[in-house]
Chains A and B, each alone.
Chain A
């Protein structure tokens, strides 16, 4: 069984950069990297949009 210590799961180096993420990104083709970025941006927009809409859905007549 391969033992993995917590030390192995922290970002490499003193600069705090997570090399595992870099290796994952480099394993993708440029088009796939762009897809990842777009998926992330779409997700953030969707969440922001949902939360921005929330106050409109509140029915203040029932408050208090």
Chain B
């Protein structure tokens, strides 16, 4: 059984200087929302330099496509340069590497909407803000996203009350 170690994935990405930001359930948790999730979702920069870095990190993480359990198909540069969603399994658990989220929002579109957080001494990550998480979910409008909205909105309200 693989242990889910989100922090270990963060550390690997930091070691390889990968440019990315955290979205999805882990971003919600880091923003203070009491949700649970089993995978880490990131949006990465699809610049050629960053694709090389993330490929090296994914190799170290022993990443392969979850859909093809038997074949152990691994992502390559063409996959990571695209805006598609790479749904991977790693030695530390499920890891989704996304070229975009919502209606075509890329790493560079989302970067100004992030906050930096320390997740371990010396390990800092960029996390999509609660406001932006809500905006993206409204934009997508799917059932799963709509279900999360009340919780994210209340977390944002409470968070602002504390400031």
Contact = CB atoms under 8 A, between A and B. Distances in A.
B119 A41 contact: no
**Chain A interface residue bracket vs B:** 20 to 34
Contacts of A31: 118-120
Contacts of B38: 41, 44
Contacts of B158: 19, 22-23, 26
Given A21-B34, A37-B26, A38-B7, A30 B118 contact: yes
Nearest to A35: B7
B5 A30 contact: no
Main secondary structure of the interface of B (DSSP, over half): mixed
A26 B119 contact: no
Given A41-B4, A45-B4, A13 B32 contact: no
Given A31-B120, A34-B119, A38-B7, 18 more contacts: A13-B154, A16-B150, A17-B151, A17-B154, A22-B33, A22-B154, A25-B32, A30-B117, A30-B118, A30-B119, A31-B119, A34-B29, A34-B30, A37-B29, A38-B4, A41-B37, A45-B1, A45-B2
Interface of B: 1-7, 26, 29-30, 32-34, 36-38, 93, 117-120, 127, 150-151, 153-155, 158-159, 162
